[in-house]
């Protein structure tokens, strides 16, 4: 009997971008006075700001770095423990959500 087996691993990975300094003075329309108000203002608007061609280059560079900058992994649970199992099944292009594999049996819960 010939069957296909594979190892499946579940893990959590956390990544973060390089911190980007953003100055509230860059945004004349910002009328808030607290850190939380500035945070909310940026979160609610930064995607629109990316499309705003009238903003100074320094502002657009910072916002682009925030949105699209390189990210670095700072935690990966697979470095600490294994979580996963073994599956038996067959390769199947129609099962793309399962890595193109039709699982018949698994020892995972």
| E strand or H helix that includes residue 57 | helix 57-68
Q: Is the pTM of this model over 0.85?
A: no
Half-sphere exposure (Cβ direction) of 40: Cα atoms closer than 13 Å? 7
Collapsed DSSP state (helix, strand, coil) of residue 26 = helix
What band does 93 get if pLDDT is binned at 50, 70 and 90?
very high
Contacts of 37 (CB under 8 A, 6+ apart): 30
How far apart are the C-alpha atoms of 67 and 51, rounded to whole Å? 12
* Sheet strand arrangement including 84-91: 4-9, 84-91, 101-106
Residue 2 has pLDDT above 80, yes or no: yes
Q: Identify the sign of the CA torsion 99, 104, 108, 109.
A: positive
- Indicate if the pLDDT at residue 29 is higher than 80: yes
Which pLDDT belongs to residue 54? 86
The sign of the dihedral angle between the CA atoms of 49, 52, 55, 57 is: positive
- What pLDDT digit, counting tens, does each position of 31-64 carry? 999 999 999 999 999 899 988 888 899 999 999 9
> To the nearest whole number, what is the mean pLDDT of the chain?
93
**109 pLDDT exceeds 90?**
no
């Amino acid at each position: 009997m010939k069957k296909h087996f594979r190892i499946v691993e579940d893990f959590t990975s956390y990544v973060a971008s390089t911190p980007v300094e953003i100055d509230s003075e860059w945004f004349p329309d910002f009328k808030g006075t607290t850190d939380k108000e500035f945070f909310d203002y940026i979160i609610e608007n930064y995607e629109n700001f990316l499309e705003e061609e009238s903003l100074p280059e320094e502002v657009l560079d910072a916002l682009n770095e925030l949105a699209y900058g390189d990210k670095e992994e700072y935690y990966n649970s697979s470095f600490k423990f294994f979580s996963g199992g073994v599956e038996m099944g067959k390769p199947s292009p129609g099962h793309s959500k399962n890595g193109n594999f039709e699982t018949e049996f698994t020892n995972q819960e």
